[in-house]
Amino acid sequence: MMAVSRLIADYQMQRYGSQFDGVAIGAPAFRQAFQQVLHLFSGVVENTNGYDPSPCELEKINNDTIAACDPLDGRTDGVISRTDLCKLNEHWYPLFLSSFSQRRSMNAAPVPAANGTVTSQAVALANDINGGLHDSQGRRVCTSFQPGSGYPDAATTYNTTTGQYQAVASGIGVQYVNLFLKDVNSASLSLDNVTYDTPASGS
């Protein structure tokens, strides 16, 4: 018997099932195909909208979302318990375009210091991501993560050559698509020319 991660276990059992007499799989998940592809959705939204925000801009939106939706359950404790009520008021944010600032970082992925105001493009991006994965006709494929959970899949990297932020494909989504759909062992995946209909068509 072999104890491995869910993603690798699924792949190995499907491809080489005769090699195992049993598998102990951790971190079970339902509707795996939808969930893993959903991790790529934020990057597709960024490319479709033509806007790649700085990390602090989306962090500010998320923090303000928590501040606005936290008390909807009658208790202000830093937790959004009534995500249903928060979703009913998800378009409140454009009324409160607030300022943000980020310190310069010289880690593996350098980020310059910046001060600014949350843009309407970032608000539209957050609303589209919150809306969940859908095709070009608006038909729902999978719901998005709950309000207040952040936008880690929409994380961008700073290109020191162009001086611009750019979208990158989320790692866990990349692994699933490459291993299961493309049958290739690669840690990179381009989202160029990927549309809302691409996951549905299986291309």
Residue at 147: amino acid letter: P
Residue 108, pLDDT score: 54
CB atoms within 10 A of CB 23: 16
Exposure class string for 163-188: b at 16+ Cβ within 10 A, else e = eebebbbbebbbbbbbbbeeeeeeee
pLDDT digits (tens, 9 = 90+) for 63-122: 888 988 899 999 999 889 898 888 887 555 555 567 777 666 655 566 777 778 888 899
Distance, CA of 81 to CA of 69 (rounded, Å): 8
DSSP 93-124: GGGG--EEEE--B-SSS-B--EEEE--HHHHH
Nearest to 48 by CA among 158, 197, 195, 147: 195
Q: Who contacts 193 (Cβ-Cβ below 8 Å, separation ≥6)?
A: none
Nearest to 35 by CA among 145, 197, 127, 139: 145
pLDDT digits (tens, 9 = 90+) for 10-50: 666 777 778 877 767 665 566 677 778 888 999 999 999 99
Crossing angle of helices 120-131 and 32-49, rounded to 10°? 160
Nearest to 90 by CA among 38, 40, 145: 145
Q: What is the pTM (predicted TM-score) of this model? A: 0.75
| Mean pLDDT to the nearest integer, 159-171 | 86
Residue at 126: amino acid letter: A
Domain ranges of the chain: 1-30, 31-201
